[in-house]
């Protein structure tokens, strides 16, 4: 069993207390993070929207990720996670915080330099520097995606309490 429901409740409760909002921009998790957050009662008071931007085109068109970043570094990169987190905040004026994830869940798609399990998580805060974290998760596709959700929620909890 994971800590995902506990983390999601802590986040929603903290956002409600702070009068803050959250937006997500998800690629490899395809909505699992926002799904975990919306399991919590009261989530509608802090969530306005969420973006699943699986393709490079959607990352660019919806979140404003630079084509040059996608071409130079690839979709699975720190710069793209950063631009996704910042773009989500721009696209959702009611949000104070953002979570963005991009990675390779597998089983295919990995390379020597970007193996299956490589995930970048961006944690954005309006009018503050975006933090990006690199992870190398293990296991099958489902395990990588679940580990990504848990890590992203953990990182946001840390940011909310710092």
Ordered strands of the 131-136 beta sheet: 47-52, 22-26, 97-103, 118-125, 131-136
Residue 142 C-beta-side C-alpha neighbours within 13 Å: 1
- Cα 73 from Cα 134, distance rounded (Å): 14
Asked if residues 26 and 52 have their Cβ atoms less than 8 Å apart, the reply is yes
Q: Where are the domains of the chain?
A: 4-161
Per-residue tens of pLDDT for the chain, all 162 residues: 579 999 999 999 999 999 999 999 999 999 999 999 999 999 999 999 999 999 999 999 999 999 999 999 999 999 999 999 999 999 999 999 999 999 999 999 999 999 999 999 999 999 999 999 999 999 999 999 999 999 999 999 999 987
Closest CA to 11 of 157, 158, 115, 155: 157
Q: Which CATH number fits domain 4-161: 3.40.190.290, 3.90.1150.50, 3.40.50.300, 3.90.950.20?
A: 3.90.950.20
**Tokens describing residue 128:** 């503050």
Phi, psi torsion values for 76, nearest 5 degrees? -95, 90
Q: Could you give the 3-state DSSP secondary structure of residue 24?
A: strand
pLDDT of residue 161: 87
Q: Could you give the 3-state DSSP secondary structure of residue 61?
A: helix
């Amino acid at each position: 069993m994971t800590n995902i429901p506990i983390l999601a409740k802590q986040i929603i409760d903290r956002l409600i207390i702070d009068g803050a909002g959250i937006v997500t921009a998800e690629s490899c998790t395809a909505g699992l993070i926002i799904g975990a957050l919306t399991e919590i009662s009261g989530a509608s008071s802090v969530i306005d929207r969420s973006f699943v931007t699986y393709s490079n085109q959607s990352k660019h068109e919806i979140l404003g990720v630079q084509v040059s970043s996608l071409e130079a570094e690839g979709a699975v990169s720190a710069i793209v996670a950063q631009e996704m987190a910042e773009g989500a905040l721009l696209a959702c004026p009611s949000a104070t915080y953002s979570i963005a994830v991009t990675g390779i869940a597998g089983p295919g798609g990995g390379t020597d330099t970007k193996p299956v399990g490589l995930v970048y998580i961006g944690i954005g805060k309006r009018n503050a520097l975006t933090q990006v974290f690199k992870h190398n998760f293990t296991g099958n596709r489902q395990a990588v995606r679940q580990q990504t959700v848990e890590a992203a929620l953990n990182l946001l909890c840390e940011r909310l309490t710092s």
